[in-house]
Amino acid sequence: MSNWTGPEVNNFRKYLRIASVHPDINYDDCITFLTEQATELGLPIKVHVDNPKKPVVIITWEGKVPTSPSILLNSHMDVVPVFPESWTYPPFSAHLTEDGKIYARGSQDMKCVAIQYIETVRRLKKNGVRLNRTIHMCFVPDEEVGGVDGMRAFVQTEEFKKLNVGLAIDEGMASPTDEFLLYYGERSIWHLIITCNGNPGHGSLILPDTAGEKIRVVIDKFMDFRQKEKQRLEENQNLTVGDVTTVNLTQLSGGVQTNVVPESLTAVFDVRLAVDVNHAEFEAMVNSWCQEAGDNIKIEYEQKEDYVEITQLNENNAYWVAFKRAADDLNIKLSTRIFPGGTDSRFIRGVGLPAFGFSPMNRTPVLLHDHDEYLHADVYLKGIDIYEKLITAVANI
C-alpha cells in the first residue's frame, strides 16, 4: 500500500528514530523534532523548563472560543530500555517490513499517539476546520520513571493552570481483539517495606521471638490476601486485573551467615489498590497483620499514593457523552477499564480533571516494554481517522 510510505508514516518513523531511551535521556532531539512539527503546522510551541533536563513541550492550536476549557492531548517523549540482541530489527531503526509492520521501541508506547495527534491536527487544519476549543498537544518527559519530574511536577505549575484544561486524553494500551480499550481510572500504588526484628543468636538453638518466625506470618498474610484476589479475578469473567488489588512479594533480604540467626529480615511488597478499596481500612488491615506477627516490626512506605477519583463515564460527563457518540458513529467498540499500571493520567485526575486513557490500537498484540515492539502501519493510519472524529467531537462541545 502506497500510504505506508506517505508523510504520515514517515513522520512517525522519524520520531521513532530519536533514541529518547532511559536512563539519562537528553531530550534536545525531541525538542528539535517537535519544533519542526510546530513550524510545519504553523502553530506556537512553548518549552516549559523548570528543570532544564526535563522539558515539557506544548504545541497549541487556539480554538474559536479560547475561553472555553481546553482539550489536552498528552504523550510522553521517553521510552524504556531495550535489549537489542533480542530484537529482529534494530530498535531505533523504525524498520518497515514488507507486510507493513513498523518495528521500534515506542511504536506502541507511545510515540504513535504523539504523531497521531500531530497528524490529526495537520489534517483538520488542511481541511479548513477550526474547532471551538483550544487544543494543547503536550509532550512530557520521564513518564516511564514515574513522572516525578514530568507530569507530576507540571500539573502543579502556574503554566499548567493557564492551559485551562477541561479534558485530557492520554495513553491507553493495545488490544489484541476487535475492541478498543478506554481507561477511566488507575489503581493506587503502595510499595511496602516490612522489617521484622527479633532475637539473634546461634543457628543451632531454638530461640524465642526470632525475625524468621515473624516474617513467615507477615508473608502468609499478604499471600493469603493475594490468593483471595486471584480467585476473585479467575471466577468473574467481567473482571480484569485492574479491578482487583494485586499483591506481589518482590524482594527478600537479611541475614549474614548460615549459622547465625539474624537480627532482622525484610520483605518488600508491590501492592496496587483497586479503586474501590478504602485506603484507611487497608492500612489498618496491614497493621493488624504485623501486630499478629509479633513485636518489633517496622512498616515503611517507599511509595503510598493517595486515592485518586476515577473519571466518571456517565451522562453527567459531557466529554464522555461526546466521545462515546463519536465512537459509535465510527462503529468502533470501546471496552472501558481501570488501567492495571500507572500513567500520567493519575496526576491529571489527581488535580480534579477528567482523563481518558486511549491509544487507538486494536487487533494488535500487547508489546509495550517488550522485545520486537511494533505497530502495523494500517492500524497507525486508522488511528488518525479515529482521532479526527473523537477530538473534533470533544473539542466542539
Just list the catalytic residues. 78, 143
CB of 164 to Zn ion, least distance (A): 25
Q: In this structure, are strands 165-170 and 135-140 parallel, antiparallel, or unpaired?
A: unpaired
**Which cell numbers in the block locate residue 247?**
499483591
Cβ–Cβ < 8 Å for 172, 182: yes
* Distances, alpha carbon 216 to alpha carbons 122, 230, 256, in Å: 60, 21, 18
Q: Which is nearer to Zn ion, 78 or 265 (CB)?
A: 78
CB of 361 to Zn ion, least distance (A): 12
Binding mask 43-82 for Zn ion (x = CB under 5 A): ----------------------------------------
CB count, 10 Å around CB of 183?
Answer: 26
Binding residues for Zn ion restricted to 245-304, rule: CB under 5 A: none
Q: Which is nearer to Zn ion, 109 or 119 (CB)?
A: 109
Q: Does 110 bind Zn ion (CB under 5 A)?
A: yes
Binding mask 8-47 for Zn ion (x = CB under 5 A): ----------------------------------------
Q: Which is nearer to Zn ion, 82 or 110 (CB)?
A: 110
Give the separation between CA 11 and CA 2, rounded to whole angstroms: 15
Q: Which is nearer to Zn ion, 74 or 362 (CB)?
A: 74
CA dihedral 21, 25, 29, 35 (to 10 degrees): 100
Q: Which is nearer to Zn ion, 109 or 215 (CB)?
A: 109
Give the separation between CA 70 and CA 59, rounded to whole angstroms: 13
CB of 196 to Zn ion, least distance (A): 36
Cβ–Cβ < 8 Å for 4, 96: yes
CB of 229 to Zn ion, least distance (A): 25
Part in contact with Zn ion (CB under 5 A); list of ranges 36-44, 163-171, 240-248, 379-387: 163-171
Instruction: Give backbone dihedrals phi and psi of 155, rounded to 5 degrees, phi first.
Output: -65, -15
The residue from 8, 109, 142, 305 that contacts Zn ion (CB under 5 A) is: 109
Part in contact with Zn ion (CB under 5 A); list of ranges 65-73, 107-115, 238-246, 333-341: 107-115
Instruction: Give backbone dihedrals phi and psi of 113, rounded to 5 degrees, phi first.
Output: -60, -45
Helix, strand, coil percentages for the chain (3-state, nearest 5): 35, 25, 40
CB of 125 to Zn ion, least distance (A): 27
- Number of residues interacting with Zn ion: please give it, by CB under 5 A: 3
Residue among 311, 317, 319, 313 nearest 396 (CA): 319
Give the separation between CA 67 and CA 181, rounded to whole angstroms: 31
CB of 298 to Zn ion, least distance (A): 34
Part in contact with Zn ion (CB under 5 A); list of ranges 47-55, 91-99, 110-118, 198-206: 110-118
Q: Which is nearer to Zn ion, 173 or 293 (CB)?
A: 173
Q: Is the peptide bond before 55 cis (omega within 30 degrees of 0)?
A: no
Binding mask 112-151 for Zn ion (x = CB under 5 A): ----------------------------------------
* Distances, alpha carbon 151 to alpha carbons 142, 247, 351, in Å: 8, 26, 11
Residue with the shortest CB distance to Zn ion: 109
Beta strand extents in 162-281 (DSSP E only)? 165-170, 180-186, 188-197, 201-202, 246-254, 260-261, 264-273
Binding mask 166-195 for Zn ion (x = CB under 5 A): -----x------------------------
CB of 283 to Zn ion, least distance (A): 29
* Distances, alpha carbon 278 to alpha carbons 274, 275, 281, 288, 306, in Å: 9, 8, 5, 16, 11
CB of 187 to Zn ion, least distance (A): 16
What value, to the nearest 5°, has the Cα angle with vertex 44 and ends 40 and 49?
115
Q: Which is nearer to Zn ion, 110 or 140 (CB)?
A: 110
Q: Which is nearer to Zn ion, 20 or 266 (CB)?
A: 20
List contacts with Zn ion (CB under 5 A): 109-110, 171
